[in-house]
Amino acid sequence: MRLVLVSRRRISRQRQFATPVVALLVALAIGGLIVWLMGRSPWRALQVFVIEPLTDPWALQEVLLKATPLMLISIGLLFCFRASRWNIGAEGQFLLGGICGGGIAILTHGMSGFWIMPLMMIAGMLGGLAYAAIPAVLRTRFGISEILTSLMLVYVADLLLDYLVRGPWRDPKGFNFPQSVSFSDAAVLHPLFEGGRLHLGLVLALVVAAIAFVLFRRTLFGYAVAASGDAPRAANFAGFNEARITVLVFLISGALAGLAGVVEVAGQVQQLRPGFGQGLGFTAIIVAFLGRLTPVGATLSSVVIAVLLIGAESAQVSLKLPYDLTRFFMGLLLTCVLVGESLDRYSLEIQRERT
Amino acid sequence: MNGAGVGVVVELKGITKYFGALLANAAVDLTLRSGEIHALLGENGAGKSTLVKILYGLLAPDSGEIVIGGVPVTLESPRAARAHGIGMVFQHFSLFDEMSVIENIAIPLDGAIANNALRRKVSEKAAQFGLEIELDRPVHTLSAGERQRIEILRALIQEPKVIILDEPTSVLTPSESESLFVTLDKLKAEGASILFISHKLEEVRRLCDRATVLRGGRVVGATDPRRATAKELATLMVGEGIADLNPGAGGEPGAPMLVLDGLSVAPETVHGITLDGIDLVVRSGEIVAVAGVAGNGQSELYNAISGEGGRITGGTISIADRAMNRASINDRRKAGAAFVPEARLGQATLPQSPLSDNIVLSWHATETIGSPFINRERLETVAQGIVRDFDVRIPRSDPVAAHLSGGNLQKYIVGREVKRMPGLIVIDQPSWGVDARAARHIRQTLMDLAAQGTAVLVITQDLDEALSLADSIVVMRKGRLSAARPTRTVTRGEIGLMMTGGARATEGAS
């Protein structure tokens, strides 16, 4: 007896929508089993991980705050991944965005003016864009794998941030802690409504998602990106310039990761300090695939992953579950989604040994 | 014995094989006798390959029986099939380019090394069947015909009772095919049983003693091909008669649309072909065919003309009197050109995109498709128009390209380019892997297009196609192009000589 994958002749549309949901349920079931084996109540874990973050108003705001950079970065990554250009270094572009935007905040410290925030955003986008241009140009000019270069540049960005906040940008009154001054009022994203925590970042992210949706659905540029990812020879036949697409998707992806960096430092952290990235640039890769590389999917899966991240924080406290369990769970979820995607295209059949 | 008769070597009984819901073989019976050459005929997708893969142990049948020498057997692998005396020569060679001939022969023999004993044995076989070849030559220096000899020797060395040849002449020149036939006749005289898979009816009629015809996975006929006409065989294969082509009005050709003047192109890859001083003129209203054995620079020529690849090192290319040496494919389209590349899926179309979306690929530079937002309704209307006008059979409304059969997808692609009303169309292998009816449709479309004044350049390995379609014919060999010859006055023999370099194929090349 052996198992074989048989190609389905038709891929049903209902299936494509149902698959991520089923994958999520399967992942929850397996996760529950693990929690049960660890001697905790799976129902309690479900409550803490999933239900509370979605029902408690304070926690829900935290979820959306966490989802904001994930949306911005993952939607940028869609452009790369749709084109089969593998930008693994969004974390680095995210950090560079924060560094450049935060740099403006530090340089304008004590000043006020409506122009400071837009300037920070522009600087952050340019920073992420320039940083993403490096692997793009290395690939198009010298044929160097963008996977390696973009990944390695993450560590460079990490160390650059470390150097800045311990060196030139360290807060003189900060008791030698490795962190910058707290940003002035004009360099901070304020809550949209009284007593809340949500800021302009979420609005920006949703606008970006909407623009990406239209670009992919309706424009020649979106078509060219997808074509060059699906079938490079067909893109060549259509006359879409491969190098130009590589550079463009990296620039878009870098600029959006950079914008996310500004939103994170100006909204959440309100100063520069090491590790403000929290690995969100890497998490966004999972988000992009979980959302099946579509803008709507990425927006929704940003929220799903943010729920898990917030849930994990409270699970640490209330259930004494290790934080690593969340990372495990995200891996599990991604695996379930990828398996589900394969089963959309292939059916699993048991073949009897011949007699 | 089941009373199957004298000399029966292999019997296939009621072989049935499904791929998912697709029925590839439906209760197929086939009997192979010693000392005969048995043709397995059928269109692409008729189930020929599935059947021989089952016989060679590559696939397991869902039901049915394989009887060898009167005993039912299970062939769970090619190794088991070889142990039962079944040898196979594949259409696409499975050879290691960097290794020598003798090493390639030794590899599939269990535990064998390229020692003197093996050399002696191979040399003997080679001399016996007219398959002479230098045993120490690396494979990448050999022609397709020589490579096929290695495959045949590889099969013969295991003393098979049955030899399966899958479309063996598709990669050979006419003279190479001739010497293959001599070899096969010798094998037959020695008592071997040969299963010869082909869709070339003329050679089947010349060579084979019996023919089994498959259509839609079923045996639809078993005849003596020497007594049937090619037309009768074709009718069996496709189910009904296929009309002849209607040539166009045959007016005088007009102004030159495509001119290559001493065009030289550097190869794109290490094993690629260098194009060397190509001269070619295609005028409005005429069809020119580039014939030649595969791999002599045809892909490079197509790429150079379409602008999809290759670096021009000398000479000029012009379309509609405009210099195009450095022009992109879209600049060339703007000058009135249309291109149909060799690979239908993944080059001419995005396999997983609907037919309507696939219009964008070749239309976006020259036609109105909507800007800045693509007009999907218009694309769907255009796609429906192509489907209707070019007899494209689709499984449902606006399917993805990969769900069309080869012939229907090719009709769609040709239709997409014809709808642009090009002044020049360049088409690479128009009917490769396409069933006979679709091939006829495509050829008729090209003839009609020429009659309306389009310049048509057809690159094809199918000599019959070149002769039936074109006004004049040029032959490509080793990156060079012969002078054009009017199709009316040229003979197959002459073209064969030009293909192999037997005559002064390239005039002016001393």
Q: How sure is the predictor about B497, in pLDDT bands with cuts at 50, 70 and 90?
A: confident
Question: What pLDDT was estimated at residue A8?
Answer: 74
Whether residue A237 and residue B341 make contact (CB cut-off 8 A), yes or no, is yes
Q: Which two tokens stand for residue A173?
A: 């009154």
Higher per-residue pLDDT: B212 or A351: B212
Q: Tell me what ipTM this predicted complex has.
A: 0.86
d(CA B47, CA B237): 12
pLDDT surpasses 50 at B504? no
**Confidence category of residue A355, pLDDT binned at 50, 70, 90:** very low
Which among B377, B389, B459, B378 is positioned nearest to B417, based on CA atoms? B389
Q: Could you tell me if B57 and B30 are in contact, meaning their C-beta atoms sit under 8 angstroms apart?
A: no
CATH number at residue A231: 1.10.3470
Q: Inter-axis angle of helices B174-189 and B116-129, to 10 degrees?
A: 100
Whether the CB of A234 is below 8 Å from some CB of chain B: the reply is: yes
Residues in Cβ contact with A336 at an 8 Å cutoff, skipping those fewer than 6 apart: A23, A24, A26, A27, A30
* Location of structure tokens 């059928």: B42
Instruction: Report the pLDDT value the prediction gives residue A11, as an integer from 0 to 100.
Output: 65
Domain ranges across chain B: 8-238, 256-500
The CA distances from residue A105 to A94, A166, A201, A254, B184, in Å, are 16, 17, 17, 20, 84
Judging contacts by C-beta atoms under 8 Å, the chain A residues touching residue B364 are 220, 223, 238
Contact (CB<8Å) B350/A227: yes
Of A8, A219, A347, the CB nearest to B373: A219
- Tell me how crowded residue B185 is: count the other CB atoms within 10 A of its CB: 15
Mean pLDDT along residues B494-505: 66
CB pairs under 8 A between A and B: 77
Residues above pLDDT 70, as percent of chain B: 92
What distance in Å separates the CA atoms of residue A337 and residue A329, rounded to the nearest whole number? 12
Asked whether the beta carbons of A131 and A197 are under 8 A apart, the reply is: no
Give mean pLDDT, residues B150-160.
Answer: 86
pLDDT beyond 70 at B240:
no
In chain A, residues 1-40 whose CB comes closer than 8 Å to chain B: 6-10
Tell me the pLDDT tens digit for each residue of A256-265. 999 999 999 9
Over residues A126-159, the pLDDT tens digits come to 999 999 999 999 999 999 999 999 999 999 999 9
Closest partner residue to A234 (CB to CB) among B328, B347, B369 is B347
- Kindly give the residue spans of alpha helices, DSSP state H, lying in chain A: 13-37, 42-46, 52-55, 57-82, 90-107, 116-142, 146-166, 200-218, 220-230, 232-237, 242-263, 280-290, 295-318, 324-345
Chain A neighbors of B19, CB-CB under 8 A: 6
- The CA distance from B476 to A26, in Å, is 59
Checking if the pLDDT of B502 tops 60, the result is no
For A111-128, the pLDDT digits (tens) are: 999 999 999 999 999 999
pLDDT in tens, A166-215: 999 999 988 889 999 999 999 999 998 887 889 999 999 999 999 999 99
With 0-12 CB in 10 A as exposed, 13-18 as middle and 19+ as buried, what is B406?
Answer: middle
B373/A218 touch (CB, cutoff 8 Å), yes or no: yes
As its CATH architecture, domain B256-500 has 3-Layer(aba) Sandwich (3.40)
Q: Note the Cα B360 to chain centre separation in Å.
A: 28
Average pLDDT over residues A204-233: 96
Would you state the pLDDT for residue B241? 55
Give pLDDT tens digits for B112-126.
Answer: 677 888 888 888 888
Alpha-carbon distance B68 to nearest alpha carbon in chain A (angstroms): 17
| pLDDT (0 to 100) of residue A87 | 96
pLDDT at res. B4: 43
Please report the pLDDT score of residue B157 as a whole number: 86
| Phi, psi dihedrals of residue B190, rounded to the nearest 5° | -80, -5
Q: Which residues of B touch A223 (CB under 8 A)?
A: 357, 360, 364, 374
Measured between alpha carbons, how far is B278 from B298 in angstroms, rounded to an integer?
Answer: 12
Paired residues of A4 in beta bridges:
A349
Between A108-117, A190-199, A292-301, B238-247, the lowest mean confidence (pLDDT) is in B238-247
Kindly report the nearest CA distance between residue A237 and chain B, in angstroms: 6
B224-227 contact pairs (CB < 8 A, 24+): B225/B39, B225/B201
Kindly provide the b/e burial profile for residues A101-137, where b requires at least 16 CB atoms within 10 angstroms of the residue's own CB. Answer: bbbbbbebeeeeeeebbebbbbbbbbbbbbbbebbbb
Average pLDDT, integer, range A305-318: 87
B8-238: CATH topology is Rossmann fold (3.40.50)
Q: Which residue do the tokens 């309507």 mark?
A: B356
What are the backbone angles phi and psi of residue B25, rounded to the nearest 5°? Answer: -135, 130
d(CA A292, CA A20): 9
Which residues are registered as beta bridge partners of B339? Answer: B426
Most confident of A86-90, B89-93, B232-236: A86-90
Q: What is the pLDDT of residues A22-62, one digit of tens each?
A: 888 899 899 999 989 988 889 998 888 889 898 988 889 99
Residues from chain A that touch B20, judged by Cβ atoms under 8 A, are 6-9, 347
Comparing alpha-carbon positions, the chain A residue that sits nearest to B62 is A354
d(CA A289, CA B30): 50
Is the CB of B348 less than 8 angstroms away from the CB of A234? yes
d(CA B353, CA B377): 16
Q: How large a percentage of chain B has pLDDT more than 90?
A: 43
Residue range B302-353, pLDDT digits in tens: 999 999 988 999 999 999 999 999 999 999 999 999 999 998 999 999 999 9
pTM for the model stands at: 0.79
Are B20 and A347 inside 8 Å of each other by CB? yes
Whole-angstrom Cα distance, residue B153 to residue A326?
Answer: 61
Task: Cis check for the bond before B372: say yes or no (omega within 30 of 0).
Answer: yes
Instruction: Using an 8 Å CB-CB cutoff, list chain A residues near B351.
Output: 230-231
> What mean pLDDT comes out for the span B86-96?
83
Please count the other Cβ atoms lying within 10 Å of the Cβ belonging to residue B94: 12
CB B74 within 8 A of CB B54: no
| Residue numbers in A near B343 (CB within 8 A) | 233
B362 to A238: CB separation less than 8 angstroms, yes or no: yes
What residue of B is the nearest CA neighbor of A220? B374
Indicate the burial class of B372 (C-beta count within 10 angstroms; 0-12, 13-18, 19 or more).
exposed
Q: Which domain holds residue A131?
A: 68-320
Count of domains for chain A: 1
Q: Is the pLDDT of residue A302 over 80?
A: yes
Q: Would the CATH topology of B8-238 be identical to that of B256-500? A: yes
Strands B455-459 and A346-351: unpaired
Name which of A7, A234, A239 is nearest B350 (Cβ-Cβ).
A234
| Distance (Å, whole) CA B242 – CA B231 | 9
Chain B hits for A220, Cβ within 8 Å:
360, 364, 369, 371-372, 374
Dihedral angle computed from the Cα positions of residues A8, A14, A17 and A19, in that order, rounded to the nearest 10 degrees? -50
Nearest residue in chain B measured CA to CA from A228: B350
Closest by Cβ to A231, choosing from B346, B357, B364: B346
Mutation target to probe the A interface, by most A beta carbons within 10 A, among B339, B371, B374 is B374
In the prediction, which pLDDT does A329 show? 84
Which of A7, A238, A347 is closest, CB to CB, to B361?
Answer: A238
Question: Which of A8, A223, A354 faces B76 most closely, judged by CB atoms?
Answer: A354
Residues of B in contact with A239 (CB under 8 A): 307, 328-330, 333, 365
Q: What mean pLDDT comes out for the span B160-168? A: 88
Residue from A149, A119, A117 nearest A134 by CA: A149
Please name which of B212, B237, B216 lies closest in space to residue B10, comparing C-alpha atoms. Answer: B212
Residue A318, both tokens:
């209330």
